[in-house]
């Protein structure tokens, strides 16, 4: 019996510290569950949060061949429409309620520590019903701030104290995939579990003469999703300045002053990584968020408002002409519980610690779906309902009508392939999140795309250190420089990064 696991003939109940998971065998199809919840139930009578898939009507999952045709044709407008529909499905109200507020669908899903337990969950189940006691908001410094891009950089990992924290979420079918046992071509009937580092190491030792391109874990199902939500602390009293993306030139980083967006979009093969790293702490524009204003849209900040604001997380915003003022309801937000405040303080170590009753505001999210073989990749960031200068790296264009406030205030870019045309032809796609990949922890972050980064995800990291050092050309999935002696993990960095002994 695994620690914390009660196993009965037809039902498994797992107590995972902050969540209770009930597993009832499934028939191999994606989980479709509902929860009875009441918005007027008092907090002390909190009902279980049931992970809820994206519902019908949001074009998810799309038919794989049809979606791949859009990718091959580089039909950006159609791919963006699909991404907006996914966003609408993720941000729709779920049937679960937490602290008297309905949760969006994505907040009902399990987080990393609930999925990658120690010891690992090694139960192959059929018919899964999962419920947990809280949304699993595991505040951590985003991994993007600590990418290592080669052995020579191993001792030079960038550390950022930004007020920005993030975590990962996994939809029910991705949880099924991670908890199930999987075979391998040379495994002779053995099963391998992708939340177990020892099991992954054993898998990596089975390949023998298997071609490098074929050394990979079993693919996830076409309904699988992984998310990385990103948030920032806002004080319960007074105005908190949060950085506001206005392009790479609107940064105090002197290396960004003369950067050309057009050149960033069209890098030459062999072009070295850019030295421009406009991380949020350097942004010259900001929004003063008022926790007591729940109605107004963005408007120019006054001198009085600017003088009274806390600029701890927006140190580059020094001119009132670059500041706007707005109510907190322009962003998805929630009040911190005591345990969440502790988690934030442990991650960030602020001089003045966060307290229960302060707010966390939702800034951004990476969204990855397995609808196509190489996954779809879209990333969203808060733009206050305004347009992104030069539409770089994306915009609000084509936002669908099924998205509700405050989720309409977020802009987006997509990268459904490494390059603009099939077979690694055309320009490299550029799609990064301004709140994440602008960090100096990612060389060439403002020319990056999610596909190329995640294509390098492996068990047994090769000499490259895993992450691409530049984004001037696509990665070949059979390249021994990246993959010799390694097992590819289906574009998921979550597997090698979080697997437990």
* Average pLDDT per consecutive 10 residues, the chain (501 residues; last block may be shorter): 26 38 36 34 65 97 98 98 98 95 96 90 57 90 58 41 87 94 79 94 92 96 98 97 98 95 84 91 97 90 98 96 97 96 91 94 98 98 96 97 98 97 92 94 90 92 70 91 93 95 90
Q: Cα–Cα distance between 69 and 186 in angstroms, integer? A: 33
Burial group, residue 25, by CB count within 10 angstroms (0-12, 13-18, 19+): middle
Angle in degrees, CA 438, 314, 318, rounded to 5: 115
pLDDT value of residue 2 = 24
pLDDT value of residue 21 = 44
**Model-wide pTM > 0.85:** yes
pLDDT value of residue 349 = 84
Q: Are 124 and 64 in contact (CB under 8 A)?
A: no
Q: Cα–Cα distance between 140 and 168 in angstroms, integer? A: 10
pLDDT value of residue 143 = 67
pLDDT value of residue 187 = 64
What confidence tens digit (pLDDT) does each residue in 53-103 have? 999 999 999 999 999 999 999 999 999 999 999 999 999 999 999 989 999
Q: Cα–Cα distance between 189 and 480 in angstroms, integer? A: 28
pLDDT value of residue 299 = 96
- What is the phi/psi pair of residue 467, to 5°? -80, 145
pLDDT value of residue 294 = 86
Q: Cα–Cα distance between 276 and 255 in angstroms, integer? A: 5
pLDDT value of residue 289 = 98
Q: Cα–Cα distance between 134 and 114 in angstroms, integer? A: 11
């Amino acid at each position: 019996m695994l620690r914390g696991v009660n196993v009965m003939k037809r039902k498994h109940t797992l107590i995972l510290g902050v969540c209770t998971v009930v597993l009832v065998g499934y028939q191999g199809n994606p989980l479709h569950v509902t929860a009875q919840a009441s918005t007027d139930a008092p907090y002390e009578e909190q009902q279980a949060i049931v992970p809820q898939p994206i519902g019908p009507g949001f074009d998810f999952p799309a038919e794989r061949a049809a979606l791949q045709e859009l990718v091959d044709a580089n039909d950006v407008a159609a791919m963006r429409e699909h991404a907006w529909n996914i966003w609408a499905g993720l941000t729709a109200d779920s049937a679960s309620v937490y602290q008297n507020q309905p949760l969006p669908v994505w907040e009902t899903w399990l987080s990393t520590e609930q999925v990658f337990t120690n010891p690992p969950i090694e139960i192959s189940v059929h018919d899964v019903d999962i419920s947990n006691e809280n949304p699993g908001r595991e505040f951590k410094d985003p991994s993007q701030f600590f990418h290592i891009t080669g052995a020579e950089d191993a001792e030079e990992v960038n550390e950022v104290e930004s007020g920005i924290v993030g975590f990962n979420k996994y939809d029910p079918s991705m949880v099924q995939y991670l908890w199930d046992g999987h075979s391998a071509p040379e495994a002779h009937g053995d099963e391998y579990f992708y939340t177990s580092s020892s099991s992954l190491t054993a898998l990596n030792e089975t390949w023998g003469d298997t071609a490098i391109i074929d050394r990979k874990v079993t693919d996830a199902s076409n309904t699988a999703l992984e998310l990385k939500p990103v948030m920032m602390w806002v004080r319960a009293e007074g105005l908190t300045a949060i950085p506001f993306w206005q392009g790479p030139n609107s940064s105090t980083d002197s290396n960004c002053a003369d950067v050309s967006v057009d050149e960033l979009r069209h890098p030459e093969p062999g072009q070295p990584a850019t030295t421009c790293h406009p991380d949020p702490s350097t942004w010259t524009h900001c929004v003063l968020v008022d926790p007591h204003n729940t109605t107004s849209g963005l408007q120019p900040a006054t001198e009085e408002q600017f003088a009274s604001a806390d600029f701890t997380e927006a140190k580059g915003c020094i001119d009132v002409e670059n500041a706007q003022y707005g109510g907190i309801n322009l962003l998805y937000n929630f009040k911190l519980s005591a345990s969440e405040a502790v988690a934030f303080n442990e991650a960030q170590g602020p001089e003045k610690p966060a307290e229960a009753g302060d707010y966390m505001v939702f800034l951004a999210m990476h969204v990855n779906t397995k609808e196509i073989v190489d996954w779809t990749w879209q990333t969203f960031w808060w733009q206050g309902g305004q347009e992104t200068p030069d539409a770089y790296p994306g915009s609000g264009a084509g936002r669908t009508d099924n998205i509700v406030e405050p989720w309409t205030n977020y802009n987006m870019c997509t990268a459904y392939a490494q390059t603009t045309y099939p077979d690694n032809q055309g320009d490299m796609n550029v799609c990064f999140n301004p709140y994440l990949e602008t960090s100096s922890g990612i060389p060439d972050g403002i020319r990056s795309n999610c596909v190329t980064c995640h294509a390098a995800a492996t068990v047994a990291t090769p000499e490259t250190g895993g992450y691409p050092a530049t984004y001037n050309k696509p990665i070949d999935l059979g390249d021994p420089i990246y993959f010799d002696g390694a097992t590819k993990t289906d574009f998921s960095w979550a597997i090698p990064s979080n697997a437990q002994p």
